[in-house]
């Protein structure tokens, strides 16, 4: 009994210390002092969660306290948000209701807690339809009060910080949906430091080995970066001091996930990433100061001393990013012969960059509420919510189009500025102006030059959209639009068009049947559409109404014709024959027997075995993993499909079907071969191909295909080989890289 009492006392002390730390965070901010309200909220939550424990064994109240500290210290929010964070699990996990919260803490806090309760259990449920519905709820509550999503992100951040206590399969699921939704959401809301931490933590659990390798390399090269910074800053500091403005200069190191992501996108090793290091100059902000002028004064000092790279100047001071980010970026040649990015911003801009839109409120004067880019974004979200895609994954992807995209700035003929995502086309621009302009656009003049609808816009383009009243949105537009607004409007218009075509087709058939007196013939219509190979009546009516299908001159013969002839069936049969012949040419792959039941133990990894020709798994064609790759399993129709953890398809599966994700482990595959492709680049010379072939044959690796192109003295080769695991590829790469004139050897996905 005494041991339990002592344990309780220790727990109470820990909880008390954490609460006092929260109050210290709050009192060091410039918010109004509502300590009594926060204390009441804490005492209420502490009592409500009394006796409850987290999976890690600590008292449950430590989680709401940690979330409240993130909300206060890292987001800069005030007492309403802190109280809501403390109370965010009370309604879901205890007997208390939203009405109880409302009577004790008021309307605002109750509304936020209610919003957080509606989206409880994460953005995603267990089924696709539930995922889309939960995500829709999240966005709706976010548009009512942005603090709902800010607290939800804080909640996810603390869950990620304490993910160690979860089972491996659960870790993959949570890390996957964090990277898929929460990190982009934090980015869009300007929470840069939180976004980076969410990405790094997700990466740590999804790719632990690669995470450790990059961390080790960053630590190993820290001395070189410090030397580079010292050499760069030494002559610059006296010049900056002459400006007479208080400032701070520091180095910034790229996040682990950003480094890895760049390595993947550009297919380059760690050693070839040159923007790991940057210099940040932050000057003190005073109300009423001309921040833009000070930024350019500092820019002048830097560029007077160092030579600039003209294509790497980014002015986000004059025109902030959509997430509120402001800074002036310039890349210069440092004294050690390396390009160095310099980021110039005020302490106000730095606050907004780290804490996001919440920091805007700190600097607002009076009661003026400005129309921000965030408000425009929320309006777009509302439009999508009005006409959501019936497919849950498509719906999530449509939302993501608006969450995480680099921006370009485009001008109308009158000089108005429009912000669009990179890769945006004429159609995207047209819909950003007005729905009718988008629906009727036929082309455009960009910088007075005629371009097609699929033309990708560049920053600074001046665009005049050309329209026609006879134009209607086309299905093919969906293949090149990039904005969620354009996609939603096109899909809505196509849906309406389809309804009109079905109506018209129905009318045409009815008239034709009446003309020949076939209205009363039982089963005639079913026989007719079956004859032409249509599965659904709507499909038949739509093609007929659109003019893509014409009725024969006489329908009467179909009431007697019992033959199974069908043009559509004939075409389908021909296509199937082609598909089958192609698949037969591929290497056969044995799949698990359908009758075998896969029994999974979530606590143990699923062993991927291959005995003879029979495998207990299926290789995903999207990423073609081989033994040694970090992989996960997806259970579907009593089969385990194996994906690389970094595969984009796997990311969607983790986010959307988390309960069907399992951890996997390769068994020894000494007799089974897997296809892989390596890319070799180097300086062309006589005999280099022969040397490459010799190295491959010496390593006892079978070549399936070898293709080499040369251009201007440089060769690029792709070799498809059969290997047992990734170690064989590493050995082969090392051997080929030793050949004189070979500059790079890397594995690529085909």
Is the separation of the CB atoms in 715 and 688 below 8 Å?
Answer: yes
Cβ 315 vs Cβ 306: under 8 Å: no
Single out the catalytic residue among 6, 16, 92, 516: 92
* Separation CA 194–CA 355 (nearest Å): 8
From residue 82, give the alpha-carbon distance in Å to each of 15, 38, 63, 144: 16, 7, 13, 18
Q: What is the pLDDT of residue 385?
A: 57
Other residues' Cβ atoms within 10 Å of the Cβ of residue 238? 8
Catalytic-residue membership of 659: no
pLDDT, residue 49, reads: 86
The sign of the torsion formed by the CA atoms of 206, 208, 213, 216 equals positive
- Bridge partners of 73, per DSSP, are none
Which listed residue (93, 354, 407, 423) is catalytic?
Answer: 93
Question: Quick check: 457 and 445 in contact, CB under 8 A?
Answer: no
Say which residues have a Cβ less than 8 Å from residue 685's Cβ, sequence separation at least 6.
Answer: 741
Residues 6+ apart with CB under 8 A from 663: 168, 169, 172, 605, 606, 632, 633
- For residue 456, the 8-state DSSP code is B
Among residues 597, 660, 634, 663, the alpha carbon closest in space to that of 127 is found at: 660
Q: Which two tokens stand for residue 135?
A: 């995500």
- The single residue listed with the structure tokens 């072939």 is 693
How, if at all, do strands 674-683 and 742-748 pair?
antiparallel
Residue scoring higher pLDDT (357 or 85): 85
CB 113, CB 151: distance < 8 Å: no
The model's confidence at residue 405, banded by pLDDT at 50, 70 and 90, is low
For range 338-347, the mean pLDDT: 91
- CB count within 10 Å of CB 552 equals 11
How many secondary structure helices (H) and strands (E) does the chain include?
A: 30, 21
According to the model, what pLDDT value does residue 729 have? 86
Residue 79 near residue 91 (C-beta atoms within 8 A): no
Give the C-alpha separation, 664 to 607, whole Å: 6
Q: Which residue has the higher pLDDT, 381 or 350?
A: 350
Please state the rounded mean pLDDT for residues 245-256: 91
The pLDDT of residue 707 is 83
Q: The sheet that has 449-451: what strands, in order across it?
A: 449-451, 441-446, 463-467
From residue 334, alpha-carbon distances to 185, 186, 230, 254, 331 in Å are 35, 33, 11, 18, 9
Highest mean pLDDT among 4-18, 202-216, 611-625: 202-216
| pLDDT per position as a tens digit, 96-129 | 888 888 888 888 888 888 878 766 644 433 444 4
Residues in the chain: 750
Token output for 322: 């959509």
Q: What is the pLDDT of residues 583-592, one digit of tens each?
A: 333 333 333 4
Q: Which helix (H) or strand (E) holds 377?
A: helix 373-386
- What local confidence, expressed as pLDDT, does residue 301 receive? 93
CA distances for 523 relative to 320, 552, 681, angstroms: 65, 18, 67
- Phi, psi dihedral angles at 306 (to 5 degrees): -125, 150
Q: Identify the burial level of 727 via C-beta atoms within 10 angstroms of its C-beta, where 0-12 means exposed, 13-18 middle and 19 or more buried.
A: exposed
Q: Which residue has the higher pLDDT, 130 or 312?
A: 312
Residue 589 CB burial class (10 angstroms; 0-12, 13-18, ≥19): exposed
The top-scoring range by mean pLDDT among 45-54, 327-336, 723-732 is 327-336
Does residue 319 have a pLDDT over 70? yes
**Is residue 203 within 8 Å of 256, Cβ to Cβ?**
yes
- Give how far Cα 605 sits from Cα of 170, 597, 664, 737, Å: 12, 17, 5, 35
* 93 catalytic residue (yes or no): yes
Distances (CA, A) of 712 to 680, 715, 716, 743: 16, 8, 11, 15
Map residue 714 onto helix, strand or coil.
strand
Assign 3-class secondary structure to 115-179.
HHHHCCCCCCCCCHHHHHHHHHHHHHHHHHCCHHHHHHHHHHHHHHHCHHHCCHHHHHHHHHHHH
Instruction: Express as a percent the part of the chain with pLDDT over 90.
Output: 14
pLDDT confidence of residue 143:
55
The pLDDT score that the predictor gives to residue 247 is 92
| Burial per residue of 105-140, b for 16 or more beta-carbon CB atoms within 10 angstroms, e otherwise | beeebbbbbbbbbbbeebbbbeebeebbebbbbbbb
Indicate whether this model's pTM tops 0.75.
Answer: no
Sequence-ordered list of residues with C-beta below 8 angstroms from that of 722, at least 6 positions apart, any chain: 673, 674, 675, 676, 701, 702, 704
| Residue 4 binned pLDDT confidence (cut-offs 50, 70, 90) | low
DSSP characters over 480-539: T---HHHHHHHHHHHHHHHHHHHHHHHHHHHHHHHHTT-TTSTTHHHHHHHHTT-SSHHH
pLDDT surpassing 60 at residue 457? yes
Q: Are 505 and 466 in contact (CB under 8 A)?
A: no
Q: What is the C-alpha separation between 81 and 309, in angstroms, rounded?
A: 44
Beta strands (DSSP E) in 544-658 are: 606-608, 610-611, 614-615, 618-619, 631-636, 639-644
Q: Which residue has the higher pLDDT, 513 or 250?
A: 250
The pLDDT value given to residue 200: 93
- pLDDT range class, residue 674, cuts 50, 70, 90: confident
| Dist. CA 138–CA 134, nearest whole Å | 6
689 confidence band (pLDDT: 50, 70, 90): confident
In tens, the pLDDT along 485-544 reads: 888 888 888 888 888 888 888 888 777 777 777 766 666 666 676 666 666 677 777 877
CB-CB contact of 352 with 360 (8 Å): yes
Mean pLDDT (whole number) for 443-452: 86
Q: How far apart are CA 74 and CA 151, in angstroms?
A: 11
Reported confidence tier of residue 65, pLDDT bands at 50, 70, 90: very high
pLDDT confidence bin for 346, thresholds 50/70/90: very high
**Which 3 state secondary structure label does DSSP give 399?**
helix
What's the pLDDT tens digit per position in 29-60?
A: 766 778 888 889 889 888 888 888 887 778 88
**Dist. CA 39–CA 202, nearest whole Å:** 33
Return d(Cα 525, Cα 512) in angstroms, integer: 12
Partners of residue 332 on adjacent β-strands: 308, 340
The rounded mean pLDDT for the chain is 78
> What is the per-residue pLDDT for 522?
63
pLDDT in tens, 552-577: 666 666 655 444 434 334 334 433 44
Residue 623 has pLDDT above 70, yes or no: yes
Name the band, by pLDDT with cuts 50, 70 and 90, for residue 427: very high
Average pLDDT score over residue span 237-257: 91
Q: Could you tell me if 211 and 204 are in contact, meaning their C-beta atoms sit under 8 angstroms apart?
A: yes
373 versus 319: which is more confidently predicted? 319
> How far apart (Å, rounded) are the C-alpha atoms in residues 311 and 327?
16
């Amino acid at each position: 009994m005494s041991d339990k009492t002592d344990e309780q006392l220790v727990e109470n002390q820990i909880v008390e210390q954490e609460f006092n730390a929260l109050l210290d965070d709050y009192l060091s901010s410039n918010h109004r002092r509502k300590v009594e309200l926060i204390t009441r909220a804490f005492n209420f939550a502490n009592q409500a969660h009394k006796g409850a424990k987290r999976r890690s064994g600590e008292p449950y109240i430590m989680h709401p306290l940690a979330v409240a500290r993130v909300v206060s210290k890292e987001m800069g929010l005030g007492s309403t948000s802190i109280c809501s964070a403390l109370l965010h699990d009370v309604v879901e996990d205890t007997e208390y209701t939203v009405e109880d919260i409302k009577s004790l803490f008021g309307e605002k806090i109750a509304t936020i807690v209610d919003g957080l309760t509606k989206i409880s259990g994460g953005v995603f449920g267990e089924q696709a339809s539930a995922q889309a519905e939960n995500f829709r709820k999240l966005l709706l509550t976010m548009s009512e009060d942005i603090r709902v999503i800010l607290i939800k992100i804080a909640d996810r951040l603390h869950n990620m910080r304490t993910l160690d206590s979860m089972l491996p399969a659960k870790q993959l699921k949570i890390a996957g949906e964090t990277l898929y939704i929460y990190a982009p959401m934090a980015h869009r809301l300007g929470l840069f430091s939180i976004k980076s931490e969410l990405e790094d933590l997700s990466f740590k659990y999804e790719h632990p080995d690669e995470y450790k390798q990059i961390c080790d390399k960053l630590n190993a090269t820290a001395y070189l970066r410090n030397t580079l910074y010292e050499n760069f800053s030494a002559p610059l500091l006296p010049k900056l001091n002459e400006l007479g403005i208080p400032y701070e200069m520091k180095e910034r190191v790229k996040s682990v996930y950003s480094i890895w992501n760049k390595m993947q996108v550009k297919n380059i090793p760690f050693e070839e990433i040159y923007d790991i290091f940057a210099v940040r100059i932050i000057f003190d902000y005073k109300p009423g100061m001309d921040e833009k002028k000070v930024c350019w004064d500092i820019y002048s000092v830097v560029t007077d001393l160092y030579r600039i790279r003209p294509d790497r100047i980014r002015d986000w001071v004059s025109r902030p990013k959509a997430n509120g980010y402001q800074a002036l970026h310039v890349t210069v040649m440092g004294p050690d012969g390396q390009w160095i990015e310099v980021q110039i911003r005020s302490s106000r801009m730095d606050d907004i960059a780290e804490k996001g839109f919440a920091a805007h409120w700190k600097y607002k004067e009076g009661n003026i509420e400005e129309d921000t880019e965030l408000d425009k974004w929320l309006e777009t979200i509302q439009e999508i919510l009005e006409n959501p895609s019936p497919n849950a994954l498509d719906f999530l992807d449509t939302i993501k189009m608006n969450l995480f995209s680099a921006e370009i700035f485009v001008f109308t003929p009158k000089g108005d500025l429009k912000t669009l995502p990179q890769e945006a086309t004429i159609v995207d621009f047209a819909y950003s102006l007005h729905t009718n302009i988008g629906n009727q656009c036929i082309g455009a003049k960009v910088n007075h030059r005629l371009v097609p609808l699929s033309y990708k816009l560049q920053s600074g383009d001046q665009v005049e959209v050309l329209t026609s009243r006879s134009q209607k949105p086309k299905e093919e537009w969906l293949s090149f639009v990039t904005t969620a607004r354009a996609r939603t409007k096109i899909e809505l218009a196509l849906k309406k068009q389809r309804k009109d075509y079905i109506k018209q087709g129905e009318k045409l058939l009815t008239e034709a049947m009446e003309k020949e007196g076939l209205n009363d013939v039982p089963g005639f219509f079913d026989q007719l559409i079956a004859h032409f190979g249509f599965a659904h009546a709507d499909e038949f009516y739509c093609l007929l109404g659109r003019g893509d299908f014409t009725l024969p001159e006489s329908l009467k013969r179909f009431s007697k014709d019992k033959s199974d002839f069908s043009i559509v069936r004939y075409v389908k049969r021909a296509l199937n024959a082609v598909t089958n012949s192609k698949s037969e040419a591929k290497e056969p792959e044995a799949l698990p027997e359908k009758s075998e039941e896969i029994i999974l133990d979530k606590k143990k990894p699923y062993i991927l075995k291959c005995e003879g020709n029979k495998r207990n798994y299926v290789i995903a064609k999207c990423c073609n993993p081989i033994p040694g790759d970090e992989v996960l399993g997806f259970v579907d129709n009593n089969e385990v499909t194996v994906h690389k953890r970094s595969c984009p398809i796997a990311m969607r599966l983790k986010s959307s079907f988390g309960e069907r994700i399992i951890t996997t482990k390769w068994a020894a595959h000494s007799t089974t071969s897997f296809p892989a492709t390596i890319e070799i680049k180097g300086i062309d010379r006589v005999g280099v191909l022969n040397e490459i072939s010799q190295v491959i044959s010496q390593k006892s690796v079978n070549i399936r295909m070898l293709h080499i192109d040369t251009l201007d003295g440089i060769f690029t080769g792709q070799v498809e080989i059969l290997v047992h695991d990734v170690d064989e590829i590493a050995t082969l790469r090392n051997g080929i890289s030793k050949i004189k004139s070979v500059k790079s050897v890397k594995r690529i996905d085909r």
